[in-house]
Structure 1
């Protein structure tokens, strides 16, 4: 065999090995890309914010996982946390139980899925039949600190207030003109009296009011209705002569109505898959059962 033929055969063999390596590398790369795409589709979806929105978000999370896979982490923290976390990328979606401010609207897109009311609650032992704006102010500024000043009941007033960053506090302050003690400026009607319990979630507020006869607090209507149905010993009071309910929210006669929102920096396909579920019939039924008026998808 000539030396030239040996070189050609060796070169041909090397080329065959080369193309085998190229094909194998291409296959490996394709598999890696498919695996990356699969992991991307199943990456964790992070949702945080208002505890009022949390029960619905958790219900949607179950449907999302069944349909699209991956992990959905839902945690509370308040509307303020929902805004901050979504704006800085800590969360993918924020839960916000109020309308966005002009500044927030420049950073984030809001998806309104329903309307809720802020309601005042008392222990079921409390005989008071309703509140007015003036009475709310008297109670929360400490001008009235005994229930006997309002009704025939010898019990001290125990105030339950929300911490700064909670949408329910913002709504309370806007309605009553009574500001949190930590605000820089007092409200038009003053500040919340010293000694008020300061809590975070609706559940904490209802637990305190249900356990302390003289307590008064304010929470989401939907949350109150759910816990009352479960046996929590509290009552929702009419406000300015109007009892909160689906009808009085719909006709605008109840004085403290609020939006329930999901916020995103940009509505990608993955985030739309999650937020669209809030408008599906199963979730809309759940929303209505919790005392919230569903909104139409915009």
Structure 2
């Protein structure tokens, strides 16, 4: 009997991709920024392989923990691993690169900020748009939750860390509105004329306005040229000896021209 094609299913808050009654399941857990491209890659791979690729996006920190404790085959992170998260048996594979776009409402007249200005806004040192060339209106700052890889990368790039009692902590203002994902943060900015936020470049659409940073607009071309510096890696992380053969074959496939073309088509930067 021919294997029945059942397509993509959504199960219990995760995305499960398979085109067959598969013999293998590959579990991938982590970054909500990496999840959308991983879902497409998983679905494409499952179209021609006898596997299920199950993707869940609770955040980069959760993905790295899942790799450490072996609760998933592969973890996803949209930031570099912290020194405390590194280990000899934890392997990191860059599958794509992504820009982080600083976004405002479409009606905001501001089109360019320096890195220093962005940092001052997020620290709460600059609180009115007229301080950076905009209207005399208070700035509404939106950020991601502390488990977000996008936030972690953004804090590193924009120098938004401070030391308290010898411990590095976030310097982002406590008054900032906190969003749980790219979609929610984008909605906050799209609905508030005075808001500012940051999202994955691949998530930018016409509902928000991406700003130039230091006179360089966020784009794949600008990132490849080294002009737009607000960027980070998309990592797959795994514990040596934990992933199944099917998971490692899927990870190997992600670096093929077919998969990397998908990465580019979805607005990210290929690594091959």
Matched, 1:165 2:128: no
CA distance in 1, matches of 2:107, 2:23: 50
Work out which of the residue numbers 255, 260, 272 in structure 1 matches 2:229. Answer: 255
What is the CA–CA distance in structure 1 between the aligned matches of 2:192 and 2:54, rounded to whole Å?
A: 34
From 181, 196, 201, the equivalent of 2:181 is: 201
Equivalent pair of 1:162/1:198 in contact (CA under 8 Å): yes
Alignment-derived partner of residue 279 in structure 1 = 255
Secondary structure of 1:218's match? strand
5+ residue gaps, structure 2, are 1-21
- Work out whether 1:112 is the aligned partner of 2:112: no
Query: In the alignment, is residue 97 of structure 1 matched against residue 78 of structure 2?
Result: yes
What is the alpha-carbon root mean square deviation over aligned residues? 2.6
> Quick one: distance in 2 between partners of 1:138 and 1:270?
47
Q: Which runs of 5+ in 1 are unaligned?
A: 1-40
CA distance change for structure 1 residues 118 and 274 in 2, over 3 Å: closer, same or farther?
same
2:103 matched to 1:129?
Answer: no
The equivalences for 1:1-298 within 5 A come to 42-102=23-83, 103-179=85-161, 185=167, 191-224=171-204, 228=205, 231-232=206-207, 234-266=208-240, 268-296=244-272
TM-score (norm 1): 0.75
- In the aligned structure 1, how far is the partner of 2:134 from the partner of 2:198? 22
* Aligned 8 A contact 2:189 2:195 in 1: yes
Aligned length: 249
Counterparts in 2 of 1:159 and 1:277: CA distance versus 1, 3 Å: same
TM-score by length of 2: 0.82
Structure 2 Cα separation of the partners of residues 172 and 185 of structure 1 = 19
- Say whether the 8 Å CA contact 1:164–1:180 is kept in structure 2: no
Measured after TM superposition, the shift of residue 283 of structure 1 is: 2.7
Conserved in 2, the CA contact under 8 Å of 1:161 and 1:218? Answer: yes
Tell me if structure 2 keeps the 8 A contact 1:60–1:277.
Answer: no
Q: 8 Å contact 1:246–1:292 — kept in the other structure?
A: yes
Deviation of the 1:115 alpha carbon: 1.4
CA drift at 1:285: 2.2
Cα distance in structure 1, aligned partners of 2:146 and 2:74: 21
Deviation, 1:132, is 0.7
Deviation (angstroms), 1:207: 1.1
Report the structure number with the largest CA radius of gyration.
Answer: 1
Q: Deviations over 1:193-232 (max 9, x none)?
A: 23211122111111111111111011111122xxx1xx42
More helix by share: 1
- Within 2, Cα distance between the matches of 1:157 and 1:181? 25
Q: C-alpha separation between the residues in 2 aligned to 1:175 and 1:247?
A: 19
